[in-house]
Chain A
Amino acid sequence: MDWSVLGENAGALAQGLLITLEVSALALLLALVLGVIVATLRVAPSPVLRRIGTAYVEFLRNIPLLVQLFFLFFALPSIGIRLDAFVCGVLALGVYTSAFVAEAIRSGIAAVPTGQLEAGLSSGMGYATAMRLIVLPQAIAKTIPPLGNTTLNLIKNSSLVSTVSVLDILGTANLLGARSFQYVPMFVGAAICYLILTLPTAFAVNLLEKRYAR
């Protein structure tokens, strides 16, 4: 085993880490935007909107991410839609994760007792004001732990983009491992790179959780 290969390829791994960070950040942004929209559908007064939201969530979270990614990358070109591998990665990861974000937010809203909304309405506030000032601040606090988990999963799931030729952390490590036959050092290096991203995220989530724990 030759650990020096790690030092020699530190630059390439760092480049891979940057790609993983980019894919994850863009996918998270997409997931949050879609997730908030779908969560509002899920708690909407209209049964039709609620059903659309439910269908979206159940469809996306019950099909493996890898299948969704392969569909975008390998199947779409056969109907004339060609997307860059990086774009496919961000789209698949973001859309898939948005189902989990929507569930986290919906369960956060559901975890606020209805009495809170009723207390606000009883004091003369409109529905929107009571939601904004009373229900949502409490819902967000309850949403932080599941959203934290979802974010960590997203970062780890981003390694799947290496299967469609994106040179993220895993893609880089795999490539360099194949080239040098030094798989152990390369994959240990990859693991360390993921920890560099995930451990601070986990730490930040814990801090946020403490700050909003009231």
Chain B
Amino acid sequence: MPTPAAIEFSGVQKWFGTNHVLIDIDLTIATGEVLVVIGPSGSGKSTLIRCINGLEAVQQGTVVVGGKQLTAKGGELAAIRREVGMVFQAFHLYPHKTVLENITLAPITVKRVPREQAEREARALLERVDLPEKADAYPAQLSGGQQQRVAIARALAMQPKVLLFDEPTSALDPEMIAEVLDVMKALAHTGITMVVVTHEMGFAREVGDRVVFMDDGRIVAQAPPEQFFSAPGNPRAQLFLSKILAH
């Protein structure tokens, strides 16, 4: 691997109660890589990426992000979260704050960026996600696609090295999926490390560097998109693809 690792899972195991949800996960994600994680629901995709910023704790093994180990408590976790942005399926914008406040809240409170500078940067980010006129709107006044683009701008405001996307288009109406994917595709070309859980195979094919297929808590196949989609090399991945690509 030519570039240093951005994220490294080694021997990770995780259980929810007696349910073994992540099994023997070894995965290295290079800096600048766009990794697409696919698989049936309940296969552990979301749990996998939630372990990267410590929203879920692993019970065995280690996750190292930007050289910092995540099993460590307190300061290390906060330091990692400052460098890892996350975009959720259900957006999770702050409903009591305007779009601009949603974007500037973390830079101002966590990084102590002066308000004026934070707002200038936020407006630039809103340009980037093509919503410059919505700065003073509240989330409830926006469509799902617009909310998700604001959520991406909010994640970018902390200038993260890694961006996690947890099924960012799964809660959207079909006509809004494209506008969010366009923003994500543009991001993919900026060199930021992206880990994307998605069912959008077009996105995976177009901008993914690698596809990881999960099933029942294990990574059962991984390959560059071209190779993966033509010959996944795993019967379950083959079955999954035949089901979703049939539509």
B94 interfacial by beta-carbon distance below 8 Å: yes
- A116-B92, A137-B96, A214-B140 known; A122 vs B109 contact (CB < 8 Å): no
Interface residues on A, range: 10 to 19
A44 interfacial by beta-carbon distance below 8 Å: no
Binary contact readout B80-107 vs A (1 if CB under 8 angstroms, 0 otherwise): 0110111010101111100000000110
Contact A115 B106 (CB under 8 A): no
- A122-B55, A125-B106 known; A134 vs B81 contact (CB < 8 Å): no
Binary contact readout B155-178 vs A (1 if CB under 8 angstroms, 0 otherwise): 101100000000000000000000
Task: Report B62 CB to chain A, min CB distance, Å.
Answer: 20
B154 interfacial by beta-carbon distance below 8 Å: yes
Q: Which residues of chain A from 130 to 175 have any CB-CB distance to chain B below 8 Å in the complex?
A: 133-134, 137-138, 141
Q: Which chain B residue has the least Cβ–Cβ distance from A117? A: B92
Contact B88 A134 (CB under 8 A): no
- The docked-state distance in angstroms from the alpha carbon of A137 to that of B97 is 10
- From A122, A126, A129, A141, give the contact of B85 (CB < 8 A): A122
A134 / chain B contacts, CB cutoff of 8 Å:
94, 105
B110 interfacial by beta-carbon distance below 8 Å: yes
Q: Give chain A's interface secondary structure class.
A: helix
B78 interfacial by beta-carbon distance below 8 Å: yes
Binary contact readout B54-91 vs A (1 if CB under 8 angstroms, 0 otherwise): 11000000000000000000000010011011101010
Contact B96 A214 (CB under 8 A): yes
Task: Report B198 CB to chain A, min CB distance, Å.
Answer: 18
Interface size on B, residues (CB 8 A): 27
Contact B94 A119 (CB under 8 A): yes
B229 interfacial by beta-carbon distance below 8 Å: no
Q: Which chain A residue has the least Cβ–Cβ distance from B102? A: A119
A138 / chain B contacts, CB cutoff of 8 Å:
94-96
Contact A125 B109 (CB under 8 A): yes
A116 / chain B contacts, CB cutoff of 8 Å:
92, 94
Contact A126 B55 (CB under 8 A): no
A77 interfacial by beta-carbon distance below 8 Å: no
Task: Report B97 CB to chain A, min CB distance, Å.
Answer: 8
A118 interfacial by beta-carbon distance below 8 Å: yes
Task: Report B5 CB to chain A, min CB distance, Å.
Answer: 21
- The docked-state distance in angstroms from the alpha carbon of A137 to that of B90 is 20
11 sampled A-B residue pairs with Cβ under 8 A? A113-B90, A115-B88, A115-B90, A118-B55, A119-B92, A122-B86, A123-B157, A124-B110, A126-B78, A133-B105, A138-B95
Interface of A toward B, CB cutoff 8 Å: 113, 115-116, 118-126, 129, 133-134, 137-138, 141, 214
Interface of B toward A, CB cutoff 8 Å: 53-55, 78, 81-82, 84-86, 88, 90, 92-96, 105-106, 109-111, 138, 140, 154-155, 157-158
Nearest 8 Cβ contacts at the A-B interface: A123-B106, A124-B82, A115-B92, A119-B92, A122-B86, A124-B110, A124-B81, A137-B96
